[in-house]
Amino acid sequence: MDMVDLPNASSPSHLSWNGVRRGSRKAPLEWVLERCIFLVSLSAIVLVFLIFAFVLRESLPVFLGRVDSTVAQRVIPADQMDTLSSADLAKYLDLSEREFSEMDRDTLRLMMEVKGESAAEAPLDKDAGVNTASWRYLLLPHQWTGYEKPSYIWQPVSEIHKYNVVPLFIGSLKTTLVALLFSIPLALGAALYVSQLAPPRVREWLKPAIEMLAGIPSVVLGFFALIVMASVLQNLVGAESRLNAFVAGIALGLAIIPVLFSIAEDALTSVPRSYTQAALALGASQWQAAWQVVLPAALPGVFAAVLLGFGRAIGETMIVLMASGNASILSWNLLDSTRTITATIAAELAEAVFGGHHYRILFMLGTLLFAVTFFTNLLGELIIHRLNRRLEGKA
């Protein structure tokens, strides 16, 4: 009778622990949701990759030197059509293999005739025989007919298509530089003030107020720059052209201030209060503690903010399209009208012939822009990594 209450081998108490074994009760809904979220996030990455792959594919012929924008072409009379192999014919008519296969003989003949006629109308320019879409003419100056000296010219719709990308790069760099020079001191100053010096009550309204700037659509900022700022700045500095790199840069700066501010403020706020306390206990003023101790400690984050601001500024389109004047002049003068890469793509892509050299070169500009931001970010990440290691005392 006493034996009944004692644990024995036939009913071991550890049997109830079987529930800890995996798989017996995994909630199916959770599993499905988990997979869904994973797939969605994966698709975002895939999408970005696909977009880049598309842009690269469209611009690849330019990089490989396979685009020919020569105006004067060797003309093959239409009745010699049969002497050409089908591959040569397709190349002569600038057709892809698939397009070529879809066309009948009469269409091809007609195309050859049209091509012959347009070639006859082509100007007898010394530059007519130049392939302006080759790297030599994309990057280096050339003395075009009617010019006094070799120049960098972007004129894609003139009779001789001039595709020199240097003025556009300079234009983008100029406006971005103005934007950064204008916004970094303002945004960092505001971030330092809000995170370190402002009384809590001021911080409560100042922080959202600055971040609300991010909500202004760039087209509205561009409009404001075009109508108001341009006139005010022209009166102030006496620029010859009302719309110029300076106006566009300032408007661009306004657009990136909230980005810079927000990230820099986060970085400064996350610096341990104990650093500030230590500095104050040594007899530093609040300002000295913020400037000499907190800011250096937050440098990686501040640098990341600047980097993101750079990316935003160089990629921003609407403001520069509206406020820069869009003249593709090669000049370092900030008060000259200028044209950026982004504005060029936005303004010209819709009118470029699909698959033509203009179209391909615009895509090439897109690829280069992507490369610039990508490598800037990469370099920035490396610097941030090194700064972090130094702050942590590992380097």
Partner 1 sequence: MTTEPLKPRVSFSAETSELPGPTGTKPDRLIQINSLNLHYGTAHALRNITLSMDEQVVTAFIGPSGCGKSTLLRCLNRMNDLIDGVRIGGSLEIAGHDIYGKDVDVIELRKRVGMVFQKSNPFPKSIYENISYGLRLHGISDKSERDAIVEQSLQSAALWDEVKDRLHRSAMGLSGGQQQRLCIARAIAIKPEILLMDEPASALDPIATARIEELILNLKKQFTIVIVTHNMQQAARISDFTAFFYLGELIEYNTTRRIFTNPSEKQTEDYVTGRFG
What span, in angstroms and rounded, lies between the C-alpha atoms of 168 and 47? 28
**Based on the number of CB atoms within 10 Å of its own CB, is 221 exposed (0-12), middle (13-18) or buried (19 or more)?**
buried
Binding to partner 1, residues 188-227 (CB under 8 A): 199-200
Select 43 or 288, whichever has its Cβ closest to partner 1.
288
338's tokens: 């200028």
CB of 300 to partner 1, least distance (A): 10
Q: Using the rule CB under 8 A, is 284 a contact of partner 1?
A: yes
Residue 366 beta carbon to partner 1: minimum distance, rounded to whole angstroms? 41
Cα(287)–Cα(282) distance, rounded to whole angstroms? 13
166 alpha-carbon distance from chain centroid = 17
Among 63, 275, 291, 370, which residue interacts with partner 1 (rule: CB under 8 A)? 275
Stretch that binds partner 1, among 28-36, 38-46, 166-174, 293-301 (CB under 8 A): 293-301
Q: Is position 274 an interface residue for partner 1 (rule: CB under 8 A)?
A: yes
Question: Are residues 257 and 206 in contact, defined by beta-carbon separation less than 8 angstroms?
Answer: no
Calpha distance 187→193 (Å, rounded) = 10
385 touches partner 1 by CB under 8 A: no
Q: Does residue 383 belong to the site contacting partner 1 (CB under 8 A)?
A: no
Element (H, E) at 57: helix 28-63
Q: Which of 285, 287, 375, 379 binds partner 1 (CB under 8 A)?
A: 285
Which of 163, 179, 207, 194 has its CA nearest to residue 59?
Answer: 163
Torsion sign (Cα): 54, 58, 60, 62: negative
Work out how close the CB of 268 gets to partner 1 at its nearest, in angstroms, rounded to a whole number: 14
What is the total residue count of the chain? 395
In terms of CB distance, is 192 or 314 closer to partner 1? 192
CB of 289 to partner 1, least distance (A): 10
Nearest-angstrom CA–CA distance, 209 and 119: 61
C-beta neighbour count of 295 within 10 angstroms:
20
Q: Which is nearer to partner 1, 280 or 384 (CB)?
A: 280
Query: Which of 77, 150, 217, 272 lies at the binding interface for partner 1 (CB under 8 A)?
Result: 272
Q: Tell me: does residue 293 bind partner 1 (CB under 8 A).
A: yes
Site for partner 1 contains 390 (CB under 8 A): yes
Task: Give me the DSSP letters along 101-130.
Answer: HH--HHHHHHHHHHHHHHHHHS---TTTT-
Q: Is 267 in the site for partner 1 (CB under 8 A)?
A: no
Residue 155, beta-bridge partner list: 162
Instruction: Pick from 45, 281, 350, 354 the residue near partner 1 by CB under 8 A.
Output: 281
As measured in angstroms, the least distance from the Cβ of 279 to partner 1 is: 7
Residue in 279, 305, 306, 361 binding partner 1, rule: CB under 8 A: 279
Under the binding rule (CB under 8 A), the answer on residue 36 touching partner 1 is no
Does 296 contact partner 1 by CB under 8 A? yes
CA distances from 285 to 187, 245, 290 (A): 22, 40, 9
* Residues touching partner 1, count (CB under 8 A): 24
Q: Which one, 55 or 284, has the nearer CB to partner 1?
A: 284
Residues that bind partner 1 (CB under 8 A): 199-200, 272, 274-275, 277-285, 288, 292-293, 296-297, 390-394
